[in-house]
């Protein structure tokens, strides 16, 4: 077993005893997973290919979660999209709505600022005109 785990190991140089034990458990777990996989299926993979696919499957859920975070830089999201092969709108294609601005339905002389927007068309609406949707969309529905 030591010869098999020696070629493809996750161990790093460390002095901490707990990390050495953890790395050994990962190595043995990877070897056991390959043996069980080969016994249960007729598919034969090399150890390197098997460990790479195992690592990708373990990381897949975490990478999909990271894609949902807003604070993640754009370049990292693009790389995760390429790596995971997930079809989501690119970060640049997402249309940002203004945080605040002038109400669409008030006169310019009133100069009322609004932070709420229509749920259908995203036009800004002040407190006087708000009905969950703007008056035009409300009349259309």
Q: What is the pLDDT of residues 116-137, one digit of tens each?
A: 877 777 788 888 877 656 677 7
**Of how many residues is the chain composed?**
141
Same domain membership, residue 12 and residue 78: yes
Same domain membership, residue 86 and residue 17: yes
- Residue 101 has phi, psi (to 5 degrees) of 175, -170
Alpha-carbon distances of 26 from 3, 20, 63, 86, rounded to whole Å: 15, 10, 20, 28
Same domain membership, residue 120 and residue 88: no
Contact criterion met (CB below 8 Å) for 98 and 124: yes
Tens digit of each residue's pLDDT (9 = 90 or more) over 63-94 = 888 888 888 888 888 888 888 777 655 544 44
Instruction: State the total domains in the chain.
Output: 2
Same domain membership, residue 79 and residue 49: yes
Same domain membership, residue 115 and residue 47: no
Last residue of a domain, one of 93, 113, 132: 93
State which residues form the domain around 110. Answer: 101-140
Same domain membership, residue 105 and residue 45: no
Same domain membership, residue 67 and residue 10: yes
Burial grade of 102 (CB within 10 A; 0-12, 13-18, 19 or more): middle
Same domain membership, residue 135 and residue 77: no
pLDDT the model gives residue 2: 63
pLDDT the model gives residue 91: 45
Same domain membership, residue 105 and residue 84: no
- Residue 78: CA atoms inside 13 Å, Cβ hemisphere, count? 7
Same domain membership, residue 109 and residue 86: no
Same domain membership, residue 73 and residue 11: yes
pLDDT the model gives residue 37: 94
pTM: 0.52
Q: What is the mean pLDDT of the chain?
A: 80
């Amino acid at each position: 077993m030591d010869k098999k785990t020696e070629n493809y190991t996750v161990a790093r140089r460390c002095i901490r005893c707990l990390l050495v034990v953890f790395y050994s458990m990962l190595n043995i777990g990877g070897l056991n997973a390959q043996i069980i996989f080969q016994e249960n299926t007729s598919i034969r993979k090399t150890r390197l290919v098997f460990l790479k696919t195992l690592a990708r499957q373990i990381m897949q859920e975490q990478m999909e979660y990271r894609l949902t975070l807003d604070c993640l830089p754009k370049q990292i999201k693009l790389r995760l999209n390429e790596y995971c092969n997930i079809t989501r709108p690119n970060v640049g294609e997402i249309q940002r709505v203004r945080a605040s601005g002038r109400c669409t339905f008030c006169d310019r002389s009133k100069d009322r600022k609004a932070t709420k927007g229509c749920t259908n068309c995203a036009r800004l609406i002040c407190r006087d005109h708000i009905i969950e949707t703007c008056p035009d969309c409300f009349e259309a529905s």
